[in-house]
């Protein structure tokens, strides 16, 4: 059968090109790999190779022709045993692709036009509340550090697939002692010291999750995870989608995030907004010990990749924790830390403590502030934010992190888009200063969010001054 040679697309964006030169003439015998013609696009001159063997029958587009559309038949190749002179040339402009209705974009669309506005987006369902703590449950004081350790130990007891890896997690007992005692209980198979090689072990952890395990990958701090961010985003977050739902990646990346104390700019950054911008990830940033424990347990059980952001300055703080066998908290649910009626302070991680202090001071000034701890940054519990906004009509976001493209920016956008009618004042954000974190004690203090700034913002939106 005669083979139609069509004007090829040589790049994803090429629609037409110039047939610069024919390197064969009618009657020539060609084999696979022979260059038939040179084709010019705006980017380059490319050689057009034959894929088949045969004899060049008719050349339908002369050399030097410009604006030849991709898919146009430019020549006919006669196959083995065919007589070149028998070949009928098709009408030069007819492209056999015309029979497929091409709607738009690359490739041939077979007629379905998708307008994003017509698609039923999966509606976000109301999220479950925290499970009730039964009356009379014994409450114990636990540091966040101990709560995190207990969460890992409990899940490791329940599920053989769970293991912990990272720098200094085993014999050193954790750079910040979060994994203290795990090596003794679970042994070196399940508590694994890695070399200082974040990109590599984040990849190994992610691959192990793809292979069916449930890794908890500790970064000594999230600052070092920047070396590994490719695996968190490109490998862990996207693979389920790219595989059409075949590939699971139930990995937890955890470690301290945000500013510590006097460690300078490279060791002091909040990555919450970075990870929270990525579809395919769950991002959790708890504040107190109860949430740290309940949410880390949920994170380890989740079938999705989770970024679990802790805070070094909170590790040593003690909180009341209910003594329950298996306290698991819902991912994606914010928590109202303090009820109030005049202004809502939205916060997460260490800034929740700042927000609660500010609320105390505001109370003394006669302003009743509600404090929301987001706990999960992705998916964001917009329902709880908007409900509170409808009640107080005023929102301030307190965030230990840079203001630009922050979680605060996102909450402001949500309030504008979905809560505009309830707003009695512009939403304000109280964040760190927009500078790399300085080392000098006085400058560091100036750069970080504090109670006074939150109080001032709340007074402003309540028109108290």
Partner 1 sequence: MAKASDSKAEKNAQPAGDDDFALRSLQEALEKEKRFKPSEDQLMHFYEQMLLIRRFEEKAGQLYGLGLIGGFCHLYIGQEAVAIGLQSALDNDRDSVITGYRDHGHMLAYGIDPKVIMAELTGRAAGISKGKGGSMHMFSTEHKFYGGHGIVGAQVSLGGGLAFAHQYNEDGGLCLAYFGDGAANQGQVYETMNMAALWNLPIVFVVENNQYAMGTAVKRSSAETEFYRRGTAFRIPGMDVNGMDVLEVRQAAEIAFKHVRDGNGPVLMECNTYRYRGHSMSDPAKYRTREEVQDQREKNDPIERIKKELAAAGIDEDKLKEIDKGIRATVAEAADFAESSPEPEPGELYTDVLVGEY
**Between residue 224 and residue 243, which ones bind partner 1 under the rule CB under 8 A?**
230-231, 234-235, 239-243
CA–CA distance, 307 with 238 (Å, rounded to integer): 14
Q: Using the rule CB under 8 A, is 81 a contact of partner 1?
A: no
- Of 163, 253, 308, 402, the one binding partner 1 by CB under 8 A: 163
Rounded (5°) CA angle 306-309-312: 150
Residue 253 structure tokens? 């990346």
Q: Kindly tell me which of 96 and 137 has the beta carbon lying closer to partner 1.
A: 96
Closest by CA to 358, choosing from 460, 442, 435, is 460
Which residues inside 40-59 make contact with partner 1, applying CB under 8 A? 44-47, 51
Which residues inside 398-457 make contact with partner 1, applying CB under 8 A? none
The least CB distance from residue 4 to partner 1, in Å, is 10
The least CB distance from residue 365 to partner 1, in Å, is 38
Contact 7, 40 (CB under 8 A): no
Active-site hit among 154, 155, 198, 370:
198
Which residues inside 274-303 make contact with partner 1, applying CB under 8 A? 279-280, 282, 302-303
Give the helix, strand, coil percentages of the chain, each rounded to 5: 30, 20, 45
CA 357 to chain centre: 32
Residue 282: Cβ-neighbour burial (10 angstroms; 0-12, 13-18, 19+): buried
The least CB distance from residue 463 to partner 1, in Å, is 37
The least CB distance from residue 335 to partner 1, in Å, is 15
Q: Using the rule CB under 8 A, is 330 a contact of partner 1?
A: yes
Any residues with CB less than 8 A from the CB of 330 and at least 6 apart, and which?
A: 127, 128, 129, 130, 298
Which residues inside 9-28 make contact with partner 1, applying CB under 8 A? 9-12, 14
Rounded (5°) CA angle 313-315-320: 120
Q: Using the rule CB under 8 A, is 140 a contact of partner 1?
A: no
CA–CA distance, 73 with 21 (Å, rounded to integer): 16
| Secondary element (H or E) of residue 363 | helix 351-364
Is 132 noted as a catalytic residue in this protein? no
Q: Kindly tell me which of 81 and 114 has the beta carbon lying closer to partner 1.
A: 114
Contact 339, 452 (CB under 8 A): no
The least CB distance from residue 201 to partner 1, in Å, is 7
Q: Kindly tell me which of 44 and 443 has the beta carbon lying closer to partner 1.
A: 44
Q: Kindly tell me which of 29 and 45 has the beta carbon lying closer to partner 1.
A: 45
Q: Using the rule CB under 8 A, is 126 a contact of partner 1?
A: no
Q: Using the rule CB under 8 A, is 1 a contact of partner 1?
A: no
Strand 306-310 and strand 318-322: pairing? unpaired
Q: Using the rule CB under 8 A, is 118 a contact of partner 1?
A: yes
Which residues inside 245-264 make contact with partner 1, applying CB under 8 A? 245-248
Contact window for partner 1 (CB under 8 A) among 189-197, 408-416, 422-430, 431-439:
189-197
> In terms of DSSP H, where are the helices of 254-350?
272-276, 289-301, 312-315
The least CB distance from residue 203 to partner 1, in Å, is 2
Q: Using the rule CB under 8 A, is 192 a contact of partner 1?
A: yes
Any residues with CB less than 8 A from the CB of 413 and at least 6 apart, and which?
A: none
- DSSP 8-class letter at 288: S
Which residues inside 334-363 make contact with partner 1, applying CB under 8 A? none
The least CB distance from residue 357 to partner 1, in Å, is 30
- Of 255, 332, 353, 419, the one binding partner 1 by CB under 8 A: 332
Is 267 noted as a catalytic residue in this protein? yes
- Residue in this structure with the two tokens 């909450």, named with its chain if needed: 411
Residue 355: Cβ-neighbour burial (10 angstroms; 0-12, 13-18, 19+): buried
- DSSP 8-class letter at 85: G
Binding residues for partner 1, total number by CB under 8 A: 83
Contact 149, 159 (CB under 8 A): no
Q: Using the rule CB under 8 A, is 189 a contact of partner 1?
A: yes
Q: Using the rule CB under 8 A, is 209 a contact of partner 1?
A: yes
Active-site hit among 154, 167, 218, 267:
267
Q: What is the DSSP string of 177-233?
A: STTTTHHHHH-TTTEEE--S-HHHHHHHHHHHHHTT-EEEEE-SSTTGGGGGHHIII
Q: Using the rule CB under 8 A, is 195 a contact of partner 1?
A: yes
CA 464 to chain centre: 39
Which residues inside 372-391 make contact with partner 1, applying CB under 8 A? 376, 379
Q: Kindly tell me which of 231 and 394 has the beta carbon lying closer to partner 1.
A: 231
Q: Kindly tell me which of 241 and 439 has the beta carbon lying closer to partner 1.
A: 241
Q: Alpha-carbon dihedral of residues 361, 362, 366, 370, nearest 10 degrees?
A: -130
- Of 90, 131, 181, 207, the one binding partner 1 by CB under 8 A: 207
Q: Kindly tell me which of 293 and 333 has the beta carbon lying closer to partner 1.
A: 333
Q: Kindly tell me which of 11 and 341 has the beta carbon lying closer to partner 1.
A: 11
Q: Kindly tell me which of 134 and 211 has the beta carbon lying closer to partner 1.
A: 211
Q: Write out the catalytic residue numbers.
A: 198, 267
């Amino acid at each position: 059968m005669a083979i139609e040679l069509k004007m090829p697309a040589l790049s994803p964006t090429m629609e037409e090109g110039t047939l610069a030169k024919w390197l064969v003439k009618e009657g020539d015998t060609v084999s696979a790999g022979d260059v038939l013609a040179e084709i010019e696009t705006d980017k380059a001159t490319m050689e057009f190779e034959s894929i088949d063997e045969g004899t060049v029958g008719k050349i339908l587009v002369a050399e030097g022709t410009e604006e030849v559309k991709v898919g146009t038949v430019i020549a006919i190749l006669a196959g083995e045993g065919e007589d070149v002179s028998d070949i009928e040339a098709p009408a030069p402009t007819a492209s056999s692709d015309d029979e497929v209705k091409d709607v738009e974009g690359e490739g041939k669309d077979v007629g379905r036009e998708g307008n994003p506005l017509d698609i039923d987006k999966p509606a976000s369902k109301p999220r479950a509340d925290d499970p009730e703590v039964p009356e009379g449950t014994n409450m114990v004081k636990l540091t966040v550090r101990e709560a995190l350790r207990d969460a890992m130990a409990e899940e490791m007891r329940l599920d053989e697939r769970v293991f912990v890896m990272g720098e200094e997690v085993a014999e050193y007992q954790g750079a910040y002692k979060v994994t203290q005692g795990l090596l003794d209980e679970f042994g070196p198979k399940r508590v694994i010291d890695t070399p200082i090689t974040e990109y590599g072990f984040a990849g190994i952890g992610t691959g192990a999750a793809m292979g069916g395990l449930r890794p908890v990958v500790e970064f000594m701090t999230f600052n070092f995870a920047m070396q590994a961010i490719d695996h968190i985003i490109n490998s862990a977050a996207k693979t389920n989608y790219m595989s059409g739902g075949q590939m699971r990646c139930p990995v937890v990346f955890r470690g301290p995030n945000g500013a510590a104390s006097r460690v300078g700019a490279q060791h002091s950054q909040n990555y919450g907004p970075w990870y929270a911008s990525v579809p395919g990830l769950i991002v959790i940033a708890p504040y107190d010990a109860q949430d740290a424990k309940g949410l880390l347990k949920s994170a380890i059980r989740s079938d999705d990749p989770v970024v679990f952001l802790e805070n070094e300055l909170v590790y040593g703080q003690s909180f009341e924790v209910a003594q329950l066998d298996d306290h698991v908290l819902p991912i994606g649910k914010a928590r109202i830390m303090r009820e109030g009626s005049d202004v809502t302070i939205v916060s997460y991680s260490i800034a929740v403590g700042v927000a609660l202090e500010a609320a105390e001071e505001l109370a003394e000034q006669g302003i009743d502030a509600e404090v929301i701890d987001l706990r999960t940054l992705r998916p964001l519990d917009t329902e709880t934010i908007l409900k509170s906004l409808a009640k107080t009509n005023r929102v301030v976001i307190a965030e230990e992190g840079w203001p630009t493209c922050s979680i605060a920016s996102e909450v402001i956008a949500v309030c504008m888009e979905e809560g505009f009618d309830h707003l009695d004042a512009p939403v304000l954000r109280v964040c760190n200063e927009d500078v790399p974190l300085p080392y000098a004690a006085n400058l560091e203090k100036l750069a970080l969010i504090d109670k006074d700034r939150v109080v001032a913002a709340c007074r402003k939106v309540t028109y108290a001054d």
